[in-house]
Amino acid sequence: MNIKKLLLVVFATLTFYSCQEQFVDDPAPVDGISEALVFSNRSMVDAFLAGMGRRIRRQFTATDTNGINGMYYARVVKGNDVIQRRTWFTYDYENDNREPTYRRPTFSWQFPYYMINQANIAIKGINESSLGTTDKNETLAQAHGIRAFWYFQLALEFCPSYLNSTPSQEDAPPIYTMPVTDGGPMSKMSDLYNLIQTDLETAVTLASTSRIDKSYINKNVLHGYLARFYLTTGDYAKAATNAAAARAGYSLDAAGYSGGFSDMSSSEWIWAAPQRSDQSNYYWGPPHAHADHYVTSYAATFFNTEFTSLFSSTDVRNIFLNAYRAPESDYRARISRKWSFSFSSDHAMMRSPEMMLIEAEGLARTGNDAGAAALLFALQSNRDSAATASGNTGSALIDEILVERRKELYGEPPAVEWFDAKRLGKGITRTGNHRVKGNASLAPNDKRFFLKVPQREIDANDNITDAVNANR
């Protein structure tokens, strides 16, 4: 579906998708009512926002193109740490799913714009509403945060590395700040990043720390978004400051690694995609539905033995095993017990360890090696009783932090192996027991780190021509 048709559908289904699909603990459904009434009081606006949160977890086109989980997991399987057998995400795993007519670019364009238009509807409706100042600020914070989040996903998917390009010259997806029905021209990467920054800084100023549950965006989550954003743009001091603010009040939970990573009540989960047995992703939601080999699932995800060898025997995260008794050279030689899949398994979208490691990297890159090493050891000693404090400094310390990010966050958002390789202009070389190596490896700043503009958009949008993909 092209942007014009997509946005028309959004208007037609405004209340259906955004107000009908919330959780049983969220505000009551308000489907079948007018847009003006939706934004007439706080409970109605909360229901609209609940529906947006619900929609990010639903199947959109196909099983491997479902919500944010599908976008993140497509990045996860492009790396060296995770191996995917031939099933869903096969072509992503082979780094061969970026052409304009392919499903991945089409979905990765359509779905963010669907969510962006929902956010634009919310921002307009809230601004024009008679809500009180507190209610208006708290709900605007969520709407601006949602819009920024999805524009950031578009930037990651359709633009080259920010730090290794000239953003003022690079084409970027179109920018819409109001509900529209006509497709606009491509923007510039610098303008897109400026909008994301403005939205997030506005949102975090307006936001409250309180919320209905962890599926909602609050001040902590917005600080986390900003930490990821500033890490991408290379503003490491701001990345560290926001990461520290994001994790405030969220303690580490080493026992979570033995609990199947399925419960958002964990003390270290900052933002989550909660599930209910009657309202869930079912089999659509990676990583759980792919990485758990002990229940009825895709049983599709395996791990590079070179990666699993990075974990000591005393590390609580070392929950890899050779369940299939495969030879060490076989791609099936290692699975992980990190995730437990059921139709009510919650999905972690942001955790405090990620923020600790962003803060540590930010400190290290701004000359505070001691502070960075202390944070790194705080995490390592929580995960491994035999851990020893790092004696590294400078680039060696940064490299250790980047490895720790892979060890802590493998398989989950925000797909740190791919994310770090892209932002830092590094390649990804397939090694070990990978099923597919060779051409699936990515050179530094490889064009396969971003997607081509989908043909459906080009065909339907008079402001975008085939020339947009000439250098992609």
Burial class (CB in 10 A: 0-12, 13-18, 19+), 175: middle
pLDDT tens digit at each of 472 positions of the chain: 344 444 333 333 333 333 333 322 344 444 556 777 889 999 999 999 988 888 776 666 655 667 888 999 999 999 999 999 999 999 999 999 999 999 999 999 999 999 999 999 999 999 999 999 999 999 999 999 999 999 999 999 999 999 999 999 999 999 999 998 889 999 999 999 999 999 999 999 999 999 999 999 999 999 999 999 999 999 999 999 999 999 999 999 998 888 899 999 999 999 999 887 666 777 878 999 999 999 999 999 999 999 999 999 999 999 999 999 999 999 999 999 999 998 889 999 999 999 999 999 999 999 999 999 999 999 999 999 999 999 999 999 999 999 999 999 999 999 999 999 999 999 999 999 999 999 999 999 999 999 999 999 999 999 999 999 999 9
**CA atoms within a 13 Å half-sphere pointing along the CA-CB vector of 437:** 10
Length in residues, the chain: 472
How many angstroms separate the CA atoms of 399 and 300, rounded?
30
Residue 339 phi, psi (nearest 5): -115, 140
User: The dihedral of CA 165, 166, 170, 172: what is its sign?
Assistant: positive
| Residue that is written with structure tokens 């792919």 in the block | 290
The pLDDT assigned to 276 comes to: 76
Residue 448 phi, psi (nearest 5): -75, 0
CB 358 within 8 A of CB 375: no
| Residue that is written with structure tokens 């791990």 in the block | 303
The pLDDT assigned to 61 comes to: 63
Residue 184 phi, psi (nearest 5): -100, 180
How many angstroms separate the CA atoms of 281 and 58, rounded?
6
CB 116 within 8 A of CB 176: yes
Residues 6+ apart with CB under 8 A from 238: 226, 230, 362
Listed residue (177, 176, 173, 175) closest to 159, CA to CA: 173
The pLDDT assigned to 55 comes to: 77
The strand pairing partners of 303, in sequence order, are 82
The pLDDT assigned to 282 comes to: 76
Residues 6+ apart with CB under 8 A from 413: 68, 72, 348, 349, 350
How many angstroms separate the CA atoms of 127 and 415, rounded?
35
CA distances, 376 to each of 283, 305, 370, 452 (Å): 35, 24, 10, 37
DSSP 77: T
How many angstroms separate the CA atoms of 305 and 471, rounded?
36
The pLDDT assigned to 12 comes to: 34
Residue 84 phi, psi (nearest 5): -120, 125
The pLDDT assigned to 222 comes to: 98
**How many other β-carbons are positioned within 10 Å of the β-carbon of residue 85?**
17
**How many other β-carbons are positioned within 10 Å of the β-carbon of residue 92?**
22
Long-range interactions of 207-211: CB distance < 8 A, separation 24+: 207/137, 207/138, 207/141, 207/142, 207/145, 208/137, 208/138, 208/141, 209/249
The pLDDT assigned to 64 comes to: 62
Q: Provide the b/e sequence for 449-463 (b: ≥16 CB within 10 Å).
A: bbbbbbbbbbebbee
Residue 453 phi, psi (nearest 5): -65, 130
The strand pairing partners of 315, in sequence order, are 384
How many angstroms separate the CA atoms of 98 and 113, rounded?
18
The strand pairing partners of 171, in sequence order, are 188
The pLDDT assigned to 1 comes to: 38
The pLDDT assigned to 257 comes to: 85
How many angstroms separate the CA atoms of 300 and 305, rounded?
16
Burial class (CB in 10 A: 0-12, 13-18, 19+), 271: buried
pTM above 0.75, yes or no: yes
**Domains annotated on the chain, with CATH:** 1-55+98-207+444-472 (1.25.40.890), 233-441 (1.25.40.390)
User: The dihedral of CA 150, 154, 157, 163: what is its sign?
Assistant: negative
